[in-house]
A and B are shown apart, each in its own frame.
Chain A
């Protein structure tokens, strides 16, 4: 184990980094990690950049407006934000916290009722049944950059699960 990066304000100052999975372990934090798929999947990043470039070009040609082109590019970038930008997750005794681009969302364990585990991510939802709002009101926890088994075990311990895959 080594010391965590003190510049990351999201993490407690006394955080330690597990050498096996690079997850952060703090006093009240059970698990913490940063998912940044774009950094680990350069081919997908190139595809995203190509789509962004082509779409922006198409908008510029059809609308002939720089404003609309910029708007389209911003909407596209935001819509793939979970892929492009790092997302910090923290599982603590209290609940789950997610932070991306300075926006922090959190829920208590008691409010979360459903867990679905997939190969690359886990869905944690406050709804007992499937809902269109699962990802809005709940969390999609990307396993990218985390010890998948440790995260799954922790989520199962807290919520209980039905495997999605």
Chain B
């Protein structure tokens, strides 16, 4: 397997059940809103910037907390995106829902 695939496999194994369920829920939500294709395009093009994206999410956390009463999901997503291979895991889940 390639490095990226191996890294994603390792992350999949390292994720907790809660985190896996969260990624599934996120993919389900995107599929339900028929956003699978735009999300795939966006994530595929932004894949190398996953870590920076997570840090940007942390930077904008104070602003987000004004809008969202309980940004738990936001924090959880930022924590998952910090880990290499996380976007590949989300891509795989979206692919399975096409």
Contacts and interface: CB of A to CB of B under 8 A. Distances in A.
Interface stretch (A25-33, A44-52, A56-64, A130-138): A130-138
Interface stretch (B1-9, B63-71, B73-81): B1-9
A131 B5 CA distance: 21
A97 interface: yes
User: Which 9 interchain pairs have the tightest Cβ spacing?
Assistant: A106-B2, A104-B2, A126-B95, A106-B1, A127-B98, A106-B5, A105-B2, A133-B40, A128-B98
19 contacts: A97-B1, A104-B3, A108-B5, A111-B92, A126-B92, A126-B96, A128-B98, A129-B98, A131-B37, A131-B40, A131-B98, A132-B37, A132-B41, A133-B37, A133-B41, A136-B44, A137-B44, A137-B91, A137-B95
A68 to B, nearest CB: 24
A158 interface: no
Interface residues of B, number: 14
A1 B41 CA distance: 44
Interface in B1-25: 1-5
Contacts of B2: 97, 104-106
Main secondary structure of the interface of A (DSSP, over half): mixed
Interface in A73-117: 94-95, 97, 104-108, 111
Contacts of B41: 132-133
B43 to A, nearest CB: 10
